[in-house]
Amino acid sequence: MGRQRTWGWGLGIASITAVTAFGVASWHANAAPPPSPAPGVAGEQPRVSNPSPAPETATGVGGEALTGSEVDRARAAAVTPKLAAEAEDVTGAKGPEYLSAEVLADGGARRAELYYYDYKTDKLVKQVVDLGTGKLAGSYTAAGLQKPASEREVATALDLLLADPLAAELKDAYQEATGKQFAGKAGLTVKAHVYKAKPADSGAADCGKHRCLQLIVQTADGLFIDVNHIVIDLSGRSVARLK
């Protein structure tokens, strides 16, 4: 049912399988402010608008951000039985690792572009879903192309680091920064950069072909722990020191 063709995705060449076409609607919720009190009325208390946000509607309009309901519906359509059976997520379980979703508005029609990573093939997967019909409109894959890490990928990378001998360097950096012994990951705020190997790298040469992260670790007191020299290869489930 599909055709194979070549597709450029900015940083690399993507192998694309076109599927069908697609359209959508979005949300618009505006609450009128409460009427102002009449001027000059003695003793009248000022009125305060309700701080509670209006409930999110199920669909959006135009180029407005996808609603939570739209993302849920799009994800249900995006993970086809084939993708669910053949791809692997960051934990090694069946099904691709969900990364993010973006809206694509085209002449009044709304589509959702959902990004996944398949750890079995080390490829980025883009699934385009027509929000109007709720059906898959396009499917694309690309090797060597990386999107920002998901929260689960960051958590997995931290666990891999803490289970590795190089965790001693994180613990030493923590003690140097805080004056306290490292007592575990509770209380840490951890984010990450996707890492691609540089020509001079010898410790993480596969990064770029593999999905690799550098962690940004912050304590509850707002102190940053320097572990920028450590790279976690999520594809290879290994930890390396940059040399």
Contact (CB, 8 A) for 215 and 192 = yes
Last residue of a domain, one of 96, 112, 143: 143
pTM: 0.74
Give the separation between CA 192 and CA 185, rounded to whole angstroms: 15
Residues 222 and 124 in one domain: no
pLDDT for the residue 65: 87
Listed residue (92, 95, 29) closest to 57, CA to CA: 29
Answer whether residue 47 is part of any domain.
no
Give 3-15 pLDDT, tens digit per residue: 333 333 433 333 3
Report CA-CA distances (Å) from 126 to 14, 102, 143.
Answer: 10, 11, 12
Mean pLDDT of 64-85: 95
Give 166-200 pLDDT, tens digit per residue: 999 999 999 999 999 999 999 999 999 999 998 88
CA angle 240, 241, 243 (to 5 degrees): 125
User: Which residues are CB-neighbours of 108 under 8 A, at least 6 positions away?
Assistant: 23, 62
What's the domain range around 131?
4-27+56-143
Give the separation between CA 96 and CA 93, rounded to whole angstroms: 8
Q: Is 133 exposed, middle or buried (0-12, 13-18, 19+ CB in 10 A)?
A: middle
Q: How many structural domains comprise the chain?
A: 2
Residues 160 and 201 in one domain: yes
Helix (H) or strand (E) holding 192, with range, is strand 189-194
| CATH number for the domain that contains residue 121 | 3.10.450
Q: DSSP readout, 139-178?
A: EEEEES---PPPHHHHHHHHHHHHTSTTHHHHHHHHHHHH
Last residue of a domain, one of 124, 143, 162: 143
Q: State both tokens at 133.
A: 């019909």
Answer whether residue 192 is part of any domain.
yes
pLDDT for the residue 109: 85
Listed residue (10, 158, 162) closest to 90, CA to CA: 158
